[in-house]
Structure 1
């Protein structure tokens, strides 16, 4: 099977090489708000509060997946498992046309692989979000904006992908369609992914009393995922429009674990086997209604947005373990369904003034209702009986009232933007089983300031400074006072005493010739939320999120694009940072470095070739020390027929990517290792179609960004 697939892919590649299709390059003139640039457009456009990556007018716009576009974008760091960073080791919030993508890193990575670069207009990278955005996302925001330019009538694309990953395949496909008729605009898309994969790994735990537990695990994954998006826009006039949008994500994650166990005491050794079936069916949907009014020719506007979102998950975990010491053998089954309903309403007003100034203000209200249940059962003589001590039923309600004001002005060559945001939180939760309650009421101010001063407009040299205060509220699951037995040796525990963490973030940067950049940053966090592990009884480790006094991160980043030859371009990045965390009167510190290079070579009339390599040195997350990471990807693509493109990709060529970390706590050492099938060979094809005159694709906005990111946690 593998050999046949490989031969087929090579044959297709040779066909690509044999076909000789001329590619046209277009240089044009774009007028920016800051400067006028002729000839080739710059890849990066910088503003006071963010920088923008121009995907559609660069090499990133041809034949890449959405994940590959992010990976090759300046200033972003993307690992094969879907972890996306701007600075340090804090994950970012990903938005697509103002809709937050609420998924786990692995699910998000698969979703981004179904998104095509041909449909992406630009990417906004916001390290310190301004007052218009909610005060969450301490790791920053990556906002993907899809293309607006489309054809009058019908336009769209069809996409298909096959990838061999080790012994198993990964397949996917999708279609997107847009239709414009006078004042009406309709759009829709659907993507499907089937992922079969095989993992190996181990967890080795050594206790201070010389107790040793070894867990060697094999994991089979059979996952499916679907995404759909549909909407309609009606333009009453040039100034007024009404938008309705529906989004849906749904999946089934069916995973089987087989573990070989060794339990060694100083005076005896016990061995065994464990089998676990873990099945999850997550689903998410949202419906958004928005009205937009363009008030005047200067750009003043009013937007009113209402949104309802639903997240649900059915989850079951069945564990059966058999040991040579029969007293340790057991069967345990847990059912953990959850539902979340979220209602939100928002109004944003922007008043543009003469003299290149603007005032912005807005209000937002969000109500969230969460229901989590745990039903635990134990195996008793071949039958399952309920375990009340391990069961729970938890309800949580939260109300957020938010408002903001911001002022921005261009003073000669200096752009200044200042804002202030206030957020009031009311929350309460109750365990229907134990009667334990949670009641919170707190308010926070979140100021922000952005300054961008142009030193030399002709050369494109400038300096930047920004500051913002951010908050991270506890995830709903983390507040749930539950105890979930993951396996014989690990328990997940909620923490109803968890408090929000607050971060002060400062960044200063310098840009040379519009593309070369350097930045220094400091992030200081109080009541830092981190999940740590501790021993609670013999052979059992408890994993629980807790607040710790301080977490500090100081770092610098560099980005240097280089044109080696006319048809050979390179983009290189460096991230160096020092992180320190105080955990239970122990200070854990580490200096880490990340390096990446992206090479793009245009072989005229034959193909485009790209090579990507990334290295991350060891780093820390809470009290876990993560091992270094290195991987290299190679891609070859070619335009075929009139509007098609075929791409051959080889990921993690040297099979070097793996996950490994060591956690030490109170004399206990946990050594974790996992190897995914990251060395893959894949073939994808995308075909774009259109018919009609040019029209403008509307961007529909939603307003519950931060809350959605917490729904799946």
Structure 2
């Protein structure tokens, strides 16, 4: 009913507009003659050529070349995608910017037989970053050679910022949602960071950055989406690579990986295996002033050694010209042994007298096993791009951890307390979805879909403390809880191309949320949440002018999103951190809603300017309150504190790739205007943050490439913490050997050891400052050996080619 109304409501106006556009197309179309040739400039007879509109992928024309390889099309000025296929030749996809004058164009195809007989590695000249519709696509190939993992590639991606806790930020101060192959993982930032650290650097095909997701995406992505798309099989034959690397800072990392891809036409498969050892540290030094003449000094040093293994397999089968089925599975295993030392001293500021001194030691030995499986189907309804896709995804994560801890006091009285505990948790996430996309008449695209996501979490924690040689259950830390969540959603959206290149996309998403949590030990703290919310989306896009033959395109986007509190943020059970700090959830926490408005401009598909506003209501964030029972005690929780308007401006510039040298450089400014309450007192502040980022690449002959990339953040902000200026600069140089099949890369991360920051928090009764640093300066060497056939599609000059007369 609704799709019919959506199509028929503006039928009369759209029909008249379509007739006008059709008449204009007939009047202003010009003939373009195309010659299809092979590698020796020989004509390719009877090649099949399909021409599609660049902006909405609608079919413009489809013809077959004659026996001499010639074919003609009547086209209006604009941007088109030419897809060419012929027997015994590799498929060719080429973007053309047609200026509307009569012209000729040669399309050169490569012989499939020649490719099968050779082992080649072709150098991609694609832009490092390019704009595709409502997302920015980053090619990780230039960065992969200098990285030890997929996580490190994201750290080095221009425009993305990753904090020490694994949160990824795009435009706002709200962390982005992270997807792998378009799937939400429903994991914490630390767990997703662990998976990305296990990925071999050459396993990533591209990184999609979606700042304002459409109605098709889940509404929880208020900070945007970072989608890590893994590689699949190449076009023809078999290819693979072996990678290995070593990095050394204060501690060291080592990894060894293997990938194999195969494609025999209707069946393609991909296999990945990676194993590694990681070791790093994190140090936080804090001074907390909890009384007029008293200060608590804390120095916490934590080391994170661990082993990991990752393997995945994917199989895609084309049943016929219409149906395609893909199945995949992955296994991720981690073993870690965390060691933490926290020194605590309380002293009088006026006399420097030490009132209390203690040392906390915590040892964690744990392992984590995550198994996932997915099944997807795609039905191609027609040749214009209409399709019906379905997907099932299941991930199961089991975590076991043993902990031993002790606190040794030297002041005011020498005493020792100790204890131990174990944690067992099980998480299951299941998602089923179906999506329908129809390419209709008058260049209208209709999309709709249903999704049901079910999440279950079980946790059992048992703690004991030692007293007089006996082991007694510690009720203050022991707890058991179960949490279930079901979110059902429906979305409808449409895209209409008006005139030559004006695109309107509009839609809405409805999400029904059901949360049920119950803590059974030490007491019942159950809660239930049921709500239904609506999330609209509007997207406008149009070409403005051409600069030196390159089109400048403008975008306007509006989106509403939600951030829901998790069970840990809702559970009121008090968890012990140390003798001066506990943490607890807030069952009264409300979800926060964000309205995002953005205007941006790209030139030749490369984003250059953007300005936006994030208008957030009912902000909930991590806060620290002073305890009512003791001035030296504090507890960490979450609370709804008010509203904020965050303005941001982003600018990027680039020298196009393909030559000896190219670069990407940019800057972003965020300004936060916050109004709210903290400890029942008015709280208002305005803060601005500058972030600069850059990437440079220089060819040193035919065999070597040098790169330099980094970022700088001035006066940063993270929740209510004010951060000092910090950044990092990375450099690398590589060299090809053995007929370009072996690539050796030397790299240095955080050359000047500047990726550390000072922080300050002065909110309510909490007044603290400190510094945080980690094992970020490292020297590394990576090896990558490619074997088999590894032929990448030549998207080199996509939409850069202009036919000549």
Query: Which interval holds the TM-score relative to the shorter structure?
Result: 0.7 to 0.9
Q: Residue 226 of structure 1 contacts residue 250 of structure 1 at CA under 8 Å; is this kept in 2?
A: yes
C-alpha separation in 2, matches of 1:375 and 1:300? 54
Match of 2:42 in 1: none
Match of 2:595 in 1: 504
- Residues 375-430 of structure 1, C-alpha deviations (whole Å, 9 max, x = no match): 23222113321122432211112221100011012212211111110000112111
The residue matched to 1:486 in structure 2 has which SS? strand
- Residues 675-698 of structure 1, C-alpha deviations (whole Å, 9 max, x = no match): 2121100001112222599999xx
Match of 1:422 in 2: 510
Indicate yes or no: 2:390 matched with 1:301: no
Structure 1 unaligned residues grouped into runs of 5+: 1-29, 697-713
C-alpha separation in 1, matches of 2:731 and 2:661? 15
Match of 1:229 in 2: 312
Q: 1:338 aligns with which of 407, 410, 425?
A: 425
Match of 2:579 in 1: 488
Residues 31, 147 of structure 1: alpha-carbon distance in 2 compared, 3 angstrom cutoff: farther
Q: Residue 661 of structure 2 contacts residue 697 of structure 2 at CA under 8 Å; is this kept in 1?
A: yes
Residues 273, 361 of structure 1: alpha-carbon distance in 2 compared, 3 angstrom cutoff: same
C-alpha separation in 1, matches of 2:254 and 2:187? 19
Q: Residue 278 of structure 1 contacts residue 317 of structure 1 at CA under 8 Å; is this kept in 2?
A: yes
Pairwise CA distance, 1:54: 4.5
Pairwise CA distance, 1:250: 2.1
Pairwise CA distance, 1:75: 3.5
Residues 74, 613 of structure 1: alpha-carbon distance in 2 compared, 3 angstrom cutoff: closer
Pairwise CA distance, 1:61: 6.8
Q: 2:171 aligns with which of 87, 106, 110?
A: 87
Residues 381, 600 of structure 1: alpha-carbon distance in 2 compared, 3 angstrom cutoff: same
C-alpha separation in 2, matches of 1:31 and 1:44? 23
Q: Residue 48 of structure 1 contacts residue 450 of structure 1 at CA under 8 Å; is this kept in 2?
A: no
- Residues 200-239 of structure 1, C-alpha deviations (whole Å, 9 max, x = no match): 4322221124332222233332122222212323321121
Residues 415, 675 of structure 1: alpha-carbon distance in 2 compared, 3 angstrom cutoff: same
Q: 1:463 aligns with which of 539, 554, 566?
A: 554
- Residues 620-668 of structure 1, C-alpha deviations (whole Å, 9 max, x = no match): 2332212221211111112222322111110111112214322223333
Q: Residue 668 of structure 2 contacts residue 692 of structure 2 at CA under 8 Å; is this kept in 1?
A: yes
Q: 1:574 aligns with which of 658, 667, 676?
A: 667
Residues 145, 343 of structure 1: alpha-carbon distance in 2 compared, 3 angstrom cutoff: closer
Match of 1:675 in 2: 773
Pairwise CA distance, 1:507: 0.3
Pairwise CA distance, 1:518: 0.9
Larger RCO: 1 or 2 (CA < 8 Å, sep 6+):
1
Indicate yes or no: 2:562 matched with 1:477: no
Q: 2:54 aligns with which of 17, 29, 33?
A: 33
Pairwise CA distance, 1:477: 1.9
Q: Residue 243 of structure 1 contacts residue 290 of structure 1 at CA under 8 Å; is this kept in 2?
A: yes
Structure showing greater Rg: 2
Q: Kindly report which structure 2 residues correspond to 1:606-685, keeping only aligned pairs within 5 A, or say none.
A: 606-641=703-738, 642-685=740-783
Match of 2:19 in 1: none
C-alpha separation in 1, matches of 2:186 and 2:453? 17
Indicate yes or no: 2:361 matched with 1:275: yes
Q: Residue 302 of structure 2 contacts residue 338 of structure 2 at CA under 8 Å; is this kept in 1?
A: yes
Q: Kindly report which structure 2 residues correspond to 1:150-169, keeping only aligned pairs within 5 A, or say none.
A: 150=234, 152-166=236-250, 168-169=251-252
Q: Kindly report which structure 2 residues correspond to 1:425-464, keeping only aligned pairs within 5 A, or say none.
A: 425-433=513-521, 434-456=523-545, 458-464=549-555
Residues 259, 74 of structure 1: alpha-carbon distance in 2 compared, 3 angstrom cutoff: closer
Pairwise CA distance, 1:146: 3.7
Match of 2:228 in 1: 144
The residue matched to 1:478 in structure 2 has which SS? helix
The residue matched to 2:171 in structure 1 has which SS? coil
The residue matched to 1:150 in structure 2 has which SS? coil
Q: Kindly report which structure 2 residues correspond to 1:280-429, keeping only aligned pairs within 5 A, or say none.
A: 280-324=366-410, 325-326=412-413, 329-411=416-498, 412-429=500-517
C-alpha separation in 1, matches of 2:143 and 2:344? 47
Compare 417-426 and 276-285 and name the one that shifted more.
276-285
Q: Kindly report which structure 2 residues correspond to 1:190-201, keeping only aligned pairs within 5 A, or say none.
A: 190-201=273-284
Match of 2:115 in 1: none
Pairwise CA distance, 1:472: 1.1
The residue matched to 1:657 in structure 2 has which SS? coil
Structure 2 unaligned residues grouped into runs of 5+: 1-50, 56-78, 81-94, 98-124, 795-805
Residues 484, 666 of structure 1: alpha-carbon distance in 2 compared, 3 angstrom cutoff: same
Match of 2:92 in 1: none
Q: Residue 63 of structure 1 contacts residue 116 of structure 1 at CA under 8 Å; is this kept in 2?
A: no
Q: Residue 635 of structure 1 contacts residue 648 of structure 1 at CA under 8 Å; is this kept in 2?
A: yes
Match of 2:606 in 1: 515
The residue matched to 2:572 in structure 1 has which SS? coil
- What's the C-alpha RMSD, in Å, of the aligned pairs? 2.8
